[in-house]
């Protein structure tokens, strides 16, 4: 078993708090670390990989702190977000260099095996500078897998990939998870995480916001209050009729529109057309105003704050 535990971890850079009192446990299988840009995902992953110490708290692998613990590095593979792989090397040389850094007894064989896993044998003799985004991602993955780590951490691995490359990487991650490895990848796209992760951890503004399977996270996101903007032939009367209804928790007349805070979407979607018909009011616009990913995530954080 390879279990990563993050216990009350905070990490700051000068005045910037990148990770704020996060506690989570990552076990075997595929976990998606979901959060908007700047949420602290890279910082968390770098600490899990043992390349950055927490400012406070502890990150452990099977109970052993990973920071400056050489034995832990033998079990962890990191695929960083950066594209700065050694462009002048060919793929084979790059993976082999990593095998040598790991001090493996037969670096050539280990590199060849890892390159096979990511299906890059045909391109191993080509310079990395000629690779596509997806190929670069795969060769970085081979480098991370060369010592057969039981933990694989990937920072935004799907960024910039085309759909075919995406599917291929998803299949690889699923396979690694099914083999019993502890696989964690970060993403800011819920659907991406849904397709491959069996477990999801959500972080927002450096804080741990939610955790669970896809259904749980999706439910948390859709159950939140939604804000709608409505324009109609008689905003004043419609607003008066909406006030106090159980499906809404706030109604405001603002300029040429009504802003409604909706707590029960299903109920509201039946109520509004019915009310308009009853009052002889024509609806010109009904649009959500807070559908940005940021607002969805903030709600998750707000719910726990």
Ligand X SMILES: Nc1ncnc2c1ncn2[C@@H]1O[C@H](COP(=O)(O)OP(=O)(O)OP(=O)(O)O)[C@@H](O)[C@H]1O
Task: Return residues touching ligand X (CB under 6 A).
Answer: 13, 16, 18, 35, 37-43, 156
Query: Which sign does the torsion angle of CA 147, 154, 213, 6 carry?
Result: positive
The least distance separating ligand X from the CB of residue 168, rounded to whole angstroms, comes to 22
- Given the complex with ligand X, which of 19 and 196 has the nearer CB atom? 19
- Given the complex with ligand X, which of 40 and 107 has the nearer CB atom? 40
The least distance separating ligand X from the CB of residue 228, rounded to whole angstroms, comes to 29
The least distance separating ligand X from the CB of residue 155, rounded to whole angstroms, comes to 7
- Given the complex with ligand X, which of 184 and 271 has the nearer CB atom? 184
User: d(Cα 172, Cα 187) in Å, to the nearest integer?
Assistant: 16
User: d(Cα 77, Cα 19) in Å, to the nearest integer?
Assistant: 22
User: d(Cα 158, Cα 259) in Å, to the nearest integer?
Assistant: 37
User: d(Cα 184, Cα 191) in Å, to the nearest integer?
Assistant: 16
The least distance separating ligand X from the CB of residue 51, rounded to whole angstroms, comes to 12
Query: Which sign does the torsion angle of CA 150, 68, 155, 83 carry?
Result: negative
- ∠ CA 211-215-218, rounded to 5°: 80
User: d(Cα 242, Cα 29) in Å, to the nearest integer?
Assistant: 47
- Given the complex with ligand X, which of 38 and 212 has the nearer CB atom? 38
The least distance separating ligand X from the CB of residue 294, rounded to whole angstroms, comes to 13
User: d(Cα 27, Cα 129) in Å, to the nearest integer?
Assistant: 35
- Given the complex with ligand X, which of 38 and 53 has the nearer CB atom? 38
């Amino acid at each position: 078993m390879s279990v990563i535990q993050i216990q009350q971890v905070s990490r700051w850079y000068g005045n910037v708090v990148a990770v704020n009192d996060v506690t989570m446990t990552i076990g075997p299988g595929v976990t998606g670390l979901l959060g908007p840009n700047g949420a602290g995902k890279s910082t968390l992953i770098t600490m899990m990989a043992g390349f950055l110490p927490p400012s406070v708290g502890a990150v452990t692998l099977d109970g052993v702190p990973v920071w400056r613990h050489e034995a832990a590095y033998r079990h962890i593979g990191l695929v960083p977000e950066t594209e700065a792989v050694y462009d002048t090397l060919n793929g084979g040389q790059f993976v082999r260099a990593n095998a040598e850094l790991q001090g493996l007894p037969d670096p050539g064989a280990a590199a060849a095996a890892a390159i096979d896993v990511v299906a890059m044998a045909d391109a191993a003799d080509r310079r990395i500078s000629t690779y596509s985004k997806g190929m670069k991602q795969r060769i970085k993955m081979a480098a991370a897998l060369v010592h057969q780590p039981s933990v694989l951490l990937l920072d935004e691995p799907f960024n910039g990939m085309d759909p075919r490359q995406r599917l291929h990487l998803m299949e690889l991650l699923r396979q690694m998870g099914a083999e019993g490895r502890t696989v964690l990848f970060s993403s800011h796209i819920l659907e991406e995480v849904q397709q491959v992760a069996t477990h999801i951890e959500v972080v927002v503004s450096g804080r741990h916001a939610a955790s669970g399977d896809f259904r749980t996270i999706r439910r948390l996101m859709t159950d939140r209050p939604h804000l709608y903007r409505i324009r109609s032939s008689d905003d004043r009367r419609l607003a008066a009729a909406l006030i106090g209804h159980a499906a809404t928790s706030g109604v405001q007349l603002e300029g040429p529109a009504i802003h409604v805070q909706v707590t029960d979407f299903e109920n509201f979607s039946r109520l509004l057309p019915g009310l308009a018909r009853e009052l002889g009011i024509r609806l010109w616009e009904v649009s959500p105003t807070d559908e940005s990913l940021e607002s969805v995530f903030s709600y998750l954080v707000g719910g726990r704050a």
